[in-house]
Amino acid sequence: MTTTTYSVAGMTCGHCVSAVTEELSRLDGVSSVNVDLNAGGVSAVTVTSAGPLPAAQVTAAVDEAGYTLEQPAS
């Protein structure tokens, strides 16, 4: 298992959290997504997956949800 925390900008509410969680959960191997919402700022999004996720896939999923992926926090 791999756990990575990403920084996502632009989320402001529970709907935002749901959108990002839904898109990231669709990626192959993802078992859980946990969002620590920082409304109007940069939120920490922790993704647990079977193995490391390709950065391009994570970026595309966050972009599809309508938000901006910053560099990984860890």
Domains of the chain with bracketed CATH: 2-69 (3.30.70.100)
Which one-letter DSSP state was computed for residue 38?
A: -
The predicted structure's pLDDT at residue 72 = 53
Query: Amino acid identity of 36?
Result: D
The predicted structure's pLDDT at residue 55 = 92
Mean pLDDT value across residues 21-37: 97
Judge whether 70 and 9 are in contact, CB under 8 Å: yes
Residues 2, 57, 55, 32, Cα dihedral to 10°: -30
Mean pLDDT value across residues 31-55: 96
- Mean pLDDT, the chain, whole residue set: 94
The predicted structure's pLDDT at residue 73 = 46
Mean pLDDT value across residues 33-44: 95
Q: How far apart are CA 34 and CA 47, in angstroms?
A: 7
- Taken in order 70, 52, 57, 16, the sign of the CA dihedral is negative
